[in-house]
Amino acid sequence: MDVEQRIEQVETLQRILVNRVSYVGVPDEAHEQYGELRRSLIQSARVKPVLPGFIIDCRSLDHAHSRIKEEVGFDSEKELRRHVWESLTEPLDLLERELIAPADFEVTGTLERLESAQIRGAWKKALDRRASDPEGAVTMARTLLESTCKHLLDEMDKSYDRKDDLPTLYNNVAEELKLSPSQHSEEIFSRILGSTQQVVEGLGAVRNRHSDAHGNSDATGRPSERHAELAVNLAGSTASFLVKTYWNNVE
């Protein structure tokens, strides 16, 4: 289901709940529709964590109405409506941001399937720091790729030195996953994979020079938000590509 359909589901559920707490009366089909929308939304890994408790816990529209009244504390129609609107703001904001930056959520969906708190943590910090701390975001972009490469090498039972730098780790993973440019005779694929290799090397270089991982003089240029966004997007896309390639190989 695409993002626009999810947004429509949340807005429809919001309208049903507002009508119910406003005592305007709801048709019988609204009760059934509430149940269908609720089941669909709580099955969404990205939407469920931000749904209000009265939707997650309440299987019927009437039960949700009772729970909302308990949360508000008094039976004011205006306050009940406000509570519904405010409680569903976060899911709508989340989905609308996804429309603006779909790559963030695509990568997130892939990395969240990994049993690696290190990878998930690095990706979240990289996203969160792009605007507020560009240098820190660049550091996390590098950390994300390093952690992903080590995770995949562990999964493939391939040894590596803990002191290996990012290009070395990436080349080891690429070799195992048959992603090295030399492993492909068709020129276009060889060029694309070679460019990916250069991206990884570039991320290592920009991290060493412009991140907060090393002390810098005042003369050293600092990355801006757009530089951090580029570094994070490249790291996330590369990590996701490696993971999906590994899954494809083991299936």
CA 138 – CA 223 distance, rounded (Å): 8
Q: How many CB atoms neighbour CB 196 within 10 A?
A: 19
Q: Are 102 and 3 in contact (CB under 8 A)?
A: yes
The first and second tokens of residue 229, run together, are 């966004």
**CATH fold of 102-250:** Four Helix Bundle (Hemerythrin (Met), subunit A) (1.20.120)
This prediction's pTM: 0.59
How far apart CA 221 and CA 122 sit, in angstroms, is: 24
C-alpha torsion angle, residues 53, 123, 238, 229 (rounded to 10)? 100
For the chain, where do the domains classified as CATH 1.20.120 start and end? 102-250
Per-residue pLDDT tens digits of the chain, which is 251 residues long: 678 899 999 999 999 999 999 977 789 999 999 999 999 999 988 789 999 999 999 999 999 999 999 999 877 899 999 999 999 999 998 888 767 666 777 888 889 888 899 999 999 899 888 878 889 999 999 999 999 999 999 999 999 998 899 999 999 999 999 998 888 878 888 888 888 889 898 887 875 554 445 455 444 567 788 888 889 999 999 999 999 999 999 87
Task: Please state, in angstroms and as integers, the Cα–Cα distance from residue 174 to each residue in 178, 180, 193, following that order.
Answer: 6, 5, 9
